Structure 1
Amino acid sequence: MKVLGTGCSSCKALYSTVQEAVKQLGIDAEVIKEEDLNKIMAYNVMSLPALVVNEKVVSKCQKLTVEQVKQLLA
């Protein structure tokens, strides 16, 4: 899974939240922080941060809680 963002505080917060959700769920998953604008644009995302799971954008421009991320991953 990937967190798309340019390094802003919201992007960093989502990255931390996703890591915590993965830890709580006990999932063996790599969380990638994608900051390359060209790669982000390949997902057709204009609002950041965004969360990508299995190469599908599941959230954009939202400050998700750990519980919300866990629901998206379930």
Structure 2
Amino acid sequence: MKIQILGTGCATCEELDQLVVQAARDLKIGNPVEKVTDVAEIASFGVLSLPSLAIDGEVVLSGVVPTYEKIKELLISALIKEEADADQGGCSSCFG
């Protein structure tokens, strides 16, 4: 899972970063949280408000700092989706 905080480093962006890092740690997600501060890269996500949170390249929230519980919900949903996608993959040797 790729977790990205999109922001310019303002206090609100840092607050979101701290909450996401804590939630990821509490959920035992070993992946580091990446800070995206380059304006051109942020623009490539199509966001209009900062800070934003992207999981696996998809913006899941923008322009707000949600509660810790909401962030955990977003991460858990991404974990469930990731697990379901892995289950669909199957064994490549089964296809000849």
Which band: TM-score by shorter chain?
over 0.9
Partner of 1:44: 46
Partner of 2:55: 53
Q: CA deviation at 1:34?
A: 0.7
- How far apart in 1 are the matches of 2:31 and 2:71? 14
Partner of 1:71: 73
| TM-score normalized by the length of structure 2 | 0.75
User: If each structure's helix is expressed as a fraction of its own residues, which one has the higher value?
Assistant: 2
Matched, 1:18 2:11: no
For structure 1, the residue ranges without an aligned partner over 5 or more in a row are none
Describe the superposition over 1:19-71 as per-residue Cα deviations: whole angstroms up to 9, x where unpaired.
00001111111100111000000000110000000100000011122211110
- How far apart in 2 are the matches of 1:32 and 1:53? 10
- How far apart in 2 are the matches of 1:67 and 1:33? 21
Q: AA paired with 1:33? A: K
List structure 1 segments (4+ residues) > 4 angstroms apart after TM superposition: none
For structure 2, the residue ranges without an aligned partner over 5 or more in a row are 77-96
- Matched positions, count: 74
Q: Which is greater in Rg?
A: 2
